[in-house]
Every structure is written in C-alpha cells, then in structure tokens.
Amino acid sequence: MNAPISPIEQLHLELPDLDWITDPSRIARLSQDFAWFSPVLHRQLKDKVADAVVRPRTEDEIRVLVSACARRKLPITIRGSGTGNYGQTTPLAGGVVLDMTGYNSVCWVQPGVARAQAGIRLAELEKHTRESGQELRCLPSTYRSATLGGLFGGGFGGVGSINYGPLAAPGNVLGIRAMTIEPEPQVVELRGAEALRMHHVWGTNGLVLEIEVGLAPAHPWLETLVVFDDFDRALAFGDALAHSPGIIKREVAFFGSPVPDYLGQLEQYLPRGCHAVLSLVAQACEEPLLQLVAAHGGTVTYRKTAEEVKKSNRTLMEFTWNHTTLHALKIDKSLTYLQTSFTPGEHVRQIREMASRFAGEVLMHAEFLRGMDGRLTTSALQLVRFTTEERLDEIIALHRESGLRINNPHVFIVEDGKAGGPLPPEVIEMKKRFDPLGLLNPGKLRDWPAPAGAAP
C-alpha cells in the first residue's frame, strides 16, 4: 500500500504551475531572516523551517494558493526579502512560506503619491518615482533588497524619517489592498487608519497585495561624514543640524566612539577614536552645512555629491540605522544591539547619560528623526558588547527604569516587541476578519488563538 501523501504534497499536486522552491537548503534559507543579529533569537529560531516555499506572480496565483492552504488548514508565513530582524519571516509551525517578491509591479505614480504591488523592492519603486522628481518618504537602510510589503509588515521607517516621521505617521501610508486567508479569499481596500492596523504586525493579521504611499520631493543629496574629538560637540552638531529647518536633509546619524571604529569600509575617513556625524543634505545647502560644522569645531572627512554616489554605487545610507550594526558584526561577531526611543527635548541629555553610564558596554549610535507627533528626537540602535542573556535583560531593564522605551529586538512574539503588550482591540479585530482560521504564522501572536471563553 502507498503511504498517504502529506498536505504539502497534495498542495503541490493541486497547483503544479506555481513557482515552487523545493530544494531543502533554499527552503531553510528562505525560512530565516536577520534574527541572527540577536544571540537570543538565533538560539531560539535557527532550526525553524517551512515545508515549502512558493513564489506567486499574480493576484490569481496568490488567491489559489491561499485558498488551497486554507482548505487544508496549512500555516502560511508571508515573506518579502527576509531582511527583518526578529524572525519575522520564520515559520514557527512549518507550512508554506509565501514569497511575495514575484508580485512586484508599480501600479501608478502621481504627484505626491504612488501605488505598487507589495513584493516590489523599494529601490525599484524609487527608480520609477524619480522619473517625476519624487522619492520615498522613509526608507530602511536595506532599501536595495527590502520590499514595500516587508517595510509595511515589519519595518518602522529609516532614512527620511527625520522629515516625515515613522511610516505609521498619518499620510505616509494612504491605503492598502489586502486579502483574507480563507477558502474563498476576499480582497478588500482599506484606507488611512484602518490600513495601519495591519502595519508592523509581522504578517500575522492579513496579506497585503498593494500599498499606496506618500512621496517626497527628491533632491540631489550631498553625503558627508563630519568627525570630532569630543562626544558632546559631535552630538550637539548632529542635534543642531537635525533642528535646522532651512537645511534640507534626508538623514542625520550620530556615532559615539568607538562605533566609527567598527565601520571598516569607511576606515580612511574615520580617524581611530573619533566621534562622527553622518548626513545627507540637499546639495544646495552645503554652505550653511559647512558654517554649522565650523561653528561646532568639526572636520569634514568625506564628501560625495549625488553624481559621485550614483557612479560609485556606494551610499552612506547603507551605513545608517541597522546597517551600522551589520558593519560592526562583520568586525566583531560577539556584538549585538538595542533599540531605544528617547524623549523629544530630553534626547541629548538622555544620550549623554546612557553613553556614560554604560561606557565600554553599550556603544552609542543614534538616529535623528521626527516622532508621531512631529517633534524632533532620536532613536538609538546602540551596539552592545554581549556577555550573557541575563546581562542583556538587565541592561534593557535599567534603560526602562530610566524612563526610556526599549523596543526589544531580542523577542519573536509580536506582543513582546515594539507593540509592548497586548494588541489593541482594533488590531485583533483585523486578525479575526482577515485570518479567521489563524493560519498566518501560528505562534507569532501570543494571544491567538483567543483563549476559550474569550469574547468573540
């Protein structure tokens, strides 16, 4: 007698024309993301693997796949390019990884707004928006490979957030088209705040097909590194530049010593032991930038025009946000990181206090940005010299006791991460509406399935 075929094999037989990835080593690779930045997550997630990966190319292919999985109650984990940091695309209960990168067209670009399919890479989308002198408002430093759907499902913001705040700030995402996970999938358009209920829930409460995003005017950006021999002066310069409304900018990052020593590819521009400020400023604003540098006693060691950046294909954007951590990990694998939100107006004092309190153990890298309320502040992605998981927990607790918000990057359950507790009822409502069978990466939401007896 033949052995019964598994639900995954049945799926394959039912949908042979889909783009299936069956090679076990590729399935294993496509089941992981950059969770290895955390020694804790690496230990917990490294062996989790999907049963199959499918890369649909059209909405119809997505629909038949979702329907066939829902009929068999097979888990689905949605994946963009897998650059997320918290095991966001790692299936906790096996099943199918639904790779969205084949679903990647631009729908349209208009003044101030564009719409595209979720699997498009952000760099590709910007190629299209630049034709009309526009660019994305906030971009993760992984923009070359990261997808629009992945930024929406798992990202926060990044380069450009100094002007427009996080992706979640009203106006940055105008609407989405999303599919329900059920035997007869429904496709629904959600606008504004309703659309944002699917944002940063790590692909657990709906499958996003298209996203409409606000655009910004594009400028030729001048990329610079300014170095200092004094921590406070470097930080004051970064803060003054971030606060200067007349200097058009896209990015300002502060690296306290010894963080610049870990940016090996920029070694020749970063004297050992220096403190540095990295910025992207409109080329037309170079003169006031240099006046500010002089007023703070800094030295410009790196200066590239937009044309030079394009020719060399090297941009300082890929040294910001969590790319700083990536470069540092190339030099010292024992490092890990934190994600800390500072208080607007208090941020300079808080950074100084934390840098001196944890000197030698928590190394300061801070990004200037606007918060949800538009006020200028900083978010830090400090490098941490990792010793034990207990000490890491202690460092996080000490930051929280000092009134700082830590978005813990060492957890893989949605409620334990940036959400910082139980999900709001409207987000749970979305889960019930778009994933009534609880098939989207089961285990990622602590409170799902809802405990027996919970309100329907």
Ligand X SMILES: Cc1cc2nc3c(=O)[nH]c(=O)nc-3n(C[C@H](O)[C@H](O)[C@H](O)COP(=O)(O)OP(=O)(O)OC[C@H]3O[C@@H](n4cnc5c(N)ncnc54)[C@H](O)[C@@H]3O)c2cc1C
Give the Cα separation of 57 and 192 in Å (integer): 27
Q: What backbone phi and psi angles, to 5 degrees, belong to 144?
A: -65, -40
Between 154 and 256, name the residue whose CB sits nearer to ligand X: 154
Question: At its nearest, how many Å lie between ligand X and the CB of residue 22?
Answer: 20
Between 85 and 257, name the residue whose CB sits nearer to ligand X: 85
Between 50 and 293, name the residue whose CB sits nearer to ligand X: 50
Give the Cα separation of 448 and 415 in Å (integer): 11
416-428: b or e for each residue (b if 16 or more CB lie within 10 Å)? ebbbeeebeeebb
- The answer to whether the peptide bond before residue 271 is cis (omega within 30 degrees of 0) is no
Question: At its nearest, how many Å lie between ligand X and the CB of residue 38?
Answer: 11
Between 84 and 95, name the residue whose CB sits nearer to ligand X: 84
Between 75 and 150, name the residue whose CB sits nearer to ligand X: 150
Supply 378's token pair: 């900083």
* Unique residue bearing structure tokens 């991460």: 417
Between 296 and 378, name the residue whose CB sits nearer to ligand X: 378
Question: At its nearest, how many Å lie between ligand X and the CB of residue 328?
Answer: 11
Question: At its nearest, how many Å lie between ligand X and the CB of residue 266?
Answer: 16
368-396: b or e for each residue (b if 16 or more CB lie within 10 Å)? bbbbeeeebbbbbbbbbebeeeeebeebb
Instruction: Name residue 222's beta-bridge partners.
Output: 281
Question: At its nearest, how many Å lie between ligand X and the CB of residue 317?
Answer: 9
Give 53's DSSP letter. Answer: E
Q: Taking the CB of residue 95, how many other CB atoms lie within 10 A of it? A: 24
Between 97 and 292, name the residue whose CB sits nearer to ligand X: 97
Question: At its nearest, how many Å lie between ligand X and the CB of residue 323?
Answer: 5
Residues 277, 237 contacting (CB under 8 angstroms): yes
Between 144 and 352, name the residue whose CB sits nearer to ligand X: 144
CA distances to 139, 184, 395, 412, 425 from 176, in Å: 18, 20, 38, 25, 20
Between 202 and 358, name the residue whose CB sits nearer to ligand X: 202
Residues 6+ positions from 451 with CB-CB distance below 8 Å = none
Positions touching ligand X (CB under 6 A) are: 33-34, 78-85, 88-89, 100, 118, 140-142, 146-147, 149-151, 153-158, 202-203, 207-208, 321-323, 326
Question: At its nearest, how many Å lie between ligand X and the CB of residue 5?
Answer: 28
Give the Cα separation of 438 and 218 in Å (integer): 41
Question: At its nearest, how many Å lie between ligand X and the CB of residue 31?
Answer: 11
Question: At its nearest, how many Å lie between ligand X and the CB of residue 44?
Answer: 16
Instruction: Name residue 208's beta-bridge partners.
Output: 178
Give 102's DSSP letter. Answer: G
SS3 letters for 221-287? EEEEEEEECCHHHHHHHHHHHHHCCCCCEEEEEEECCCHHHHCHHHHHHCCCCCEEEEEEEEHHHHH
Question: At its nearest, how many Å lie between ligand X and the CB of residue 145?
Answer: 7
Between 8 and 66, name the residue whose CB sits nearer to ligand X: 66
Q: What backbone phi and psi angles, to 5 degrees, belong to 102?
A: -85, -5
